[in-house]
Amino acid sequence: GDSVTQMEGPVTLSEEAFLTINCTYTATGYPSLFWYVQYPGEGLQLLLKATKADDKGSNKGFEATYRKETTSFHLEKGSVQVSDSAVYFCALGGSARQLTFGSGTQLTVLP
């Protein structure tokens, strides 16, 4: 079945540092890929998505490219801010209608 493997955290960075959170997936067919962000005590918000190979999703300085050859969708940001501190989830929308999530990566950005 579908699965998502996400870089384990927690990740702690200084403000303005470069961020990478790795995500790889296993799926049949051509899934869509998503990054969601969860702030403390809140629900999940869609950060970005890509629906086909080589697509790049981007939002709020975050980017991720759908790499079919490496089955990856790594999240990157060139310069993180304290306000980016949250839990980040990689997710896959495949042949089944529900989303399959990775285990989440806790990011803490220090001033």
Beta bridge partners of 57: 64
Distances (CA, A) of 99 to 9, 15, 82: 21, 32, 29
Site for other proteins, residues 52 to 81, rule: CB under 8 A: none
Using CB under 8 A, which of 3, 51, 79, 81 touches other proteins?
51
Among 12, 14, 20, 45, binds other proteins (CB under 8 A): 45
**Is residue 97 within the footprint of other proteins (CB under 8 A)?**
yes
Please name the amino acid found at residue 65: T
Nearest Cα to Cα of residue 21 among 99, 91, 110: 91
Which residues contact other proteins (rule: CB under 8 A)?
6, 31-32, 34, 36, 42-46, 49, 51, 89, 93-104
